[in-house]
Amino acid sequence: MKRGAMFAIVRLPAAVRIAAALAVLLLLVSCTAPSGPRPDPSGPPAAAGDANPGGRAAGQAGAGEAGANGGPKAGGMGTSGPGRNTLPEPPRPFTTMATLVAVGDIMMHSPQIPAAYDPETGTYSFDHYFERVIPLLQGDWVIANLETPLAGEDAGGYSGYPLFNAPEQLAEALKNAGFGIVSTANNHSLDRRETGVLRTLEHVRAHGLVPVGTHASPEEAEEIRIITRHGIRMAFLAYTYGTNGIPIPEGKEYLINLIDEEKMKADIARAREAGADLVTVSVHFGHEYHLEPSAEQKELARKLVAFGADIILGSHPHVPQPYEHIAAVGENGALREGIVIYSLGNFISNQGPDQGTAKYTDVGIIFRVRVAKSHPQGTVSIGEVELIPTWVHKYRENGKRRYEILPIGRELADRSHPLLTETQYRMLERYLEEMSAHVHSLAVPAAAGP
């Protein structure tokens, strides 16, 4: 060894070096082996859900977020003791809510059509009808009764009563106002025959509206319209008493749903089978200009609730009729409940006492109701009904007749409309008092029918 060196290099024989390396390798293996027995690979598999203990309902903490009560993150492994997995947490209960909004007849009498025409652009616009009620039309399902074909000008021209046909821009205005669904089954559906039915379907769909009650094919007629909002699935059905004597083309009965109790019962059952939480049925029935529902209307409404309907929206009388809570014995023998408003009146039209038609034909109702669904149980409940009276204000502007829908209560609260006179305000006060009492006159929950 040289002076000052701290280490000396010793060359061992090759056999010794190999033996030393093997000894080190065996030592490392013994240090990393488990101290307990090896698991049996043929043992039972993990229980379903163990891969995600603490699984959550929609809207709660997701992957990577801390679990409930300081538990493991989603997808992690919790322990209640050394080497033991926790059981999956049950879904947390929660509730979702949604609002149904419904109005009555969207009509297009002859004076309304030129009033919406702009000669400078050569187009029609109906947006101004709805401007003052748009805040009240905000909801998750918003439906109206479209009581005019939208068949195009080449289908005999635009016209009002008795054979209606309105510009397709009416559908655009409905969409802009907040509507998403239109019942197209009423006594004027065939005013422009089969062509009118088919083109109306084309035009409302082109503007993003969902039609119910008329169909372009047999296959389409078999479909049940179910629209889901906030996890609540609502089915929409629509039927009419007739088509003003205009015959449905032979072999094309699928074009329109007529009131037929057996068909209605079957359709409601199919809606339930398809997973609907609620079934809303639009029915075009009753007697024109009658303020009270007929015995036939009441009987049919009770049958529909017994069949499984939850909400019934009436139209055709052109004046508001009361709403009612109905109790009926269902098909399974259990008592079930529903709500019917027998007529929502005219939402927009040229009718009114100033035009020689019956009192209140210029009054409509905005029907609003909230529904709730409890998760994960899946139970659904219907909340309180809100009924908002409206009035069609007709006036002249720049030499043209104009129309707008006014919410009566709000107009009376503000009393700031630039065109309303004191005489009109007093009339609206009477309308509000009379209609508020009238539409609630049957609101006491009804006893079960036979």
Q: Could you tell me which residues come within 8 angstroms of residue 182 by beta carbon, excluding any fewer than 6 positions away?
A: 106, 143, 144, 145, 146, 171, 174, 204, 209, 210, 211, 212
State residue 365's pLDDT score. 98
Residue type present at position 72:
P
pLDDT tens readout for residues 250-267: 999 999 999 999 999 999
User: Does residue 40 form part of some domain?
Assistant: no
Reduce the secondary structure of 305-357 to three states and give it as a string.
Answer: HHHCCCEEEEECCCCEEEEEEEEEECCCCCEEEEEEEEEEEEEECCCCHHHCC
208 φ/ψ sector (left φ>0, alpha ψ -120 to 50, else beta): left
Closest CA to 404 of 143, 132, 167: 132
Q: Is 4 part of any domain?
A: no
Whether residue 35 is contained in a domain is answered as no
**Residue 335 dihedral angles phi and psi, to the nearest 5°:** -75, 130
Confidence of residue 39 (pLDDT cuts 50, 70, 90): very low
Residue 195's nearest CA partner among 227, 163, 150 is 150
Distance CA 282, CA 307 (A): 15
The encoded tokens of residue 115 equal: 């009033």
In the chain, what percentage of residues exceed pLDDT 90?
Answer: 76
Average pLDDT over residues 403-422: 97
Decide the pairing of beta strands 94-106 and 141-146.
Answer: parallel
Look up the CATH number of the domain holding residue 119: 3.60.21
CA-to-CA dists, residue 55 to 89, 201, 253, 344, angstroms:
6, 44, 50, 46
| 159 within a domain of the structure (yes/no) | yes
Do the beta carbons of residue 282 and residue 238 sit within 8 Å? yes
pLDDT digits (tens, 9 = 90+) for 298-348: 999 999 999 999 999 999 999 999 999 999 998 889 999 999 999 999 999
User: In this structure, is residue 288 part of a structural domain?
Assistant: yes
Kindly report which listed range (18-32, 211-225, 420-434) carries the lowest average pLDDT score: 18-32
> How high is the mean pLDDT of the chain?
85
Q: Is residue 67 part of a domain?
A: no
pLDDT of residue 443: 77
The pLDDT tens digits of the residues spanning 112-145 come to: 999 999 999 999 999 999 999 999 999 999 999 9
3-class secondary-structure state, position 389: strand
Q: Is residue 407 part of a domain?
A: yes
Q: How far apart are CA 310 and CA 346, in angstroms?
A: 23
32 lies in a domain?
no
Extract the tokens encoding 120: 């400078």
Structural domain of 136 = 104-439
Report the C-alpha gap between 235 and 284 in whole angstroms: 17
Q: Number of folded domains in the chain?
A: 1
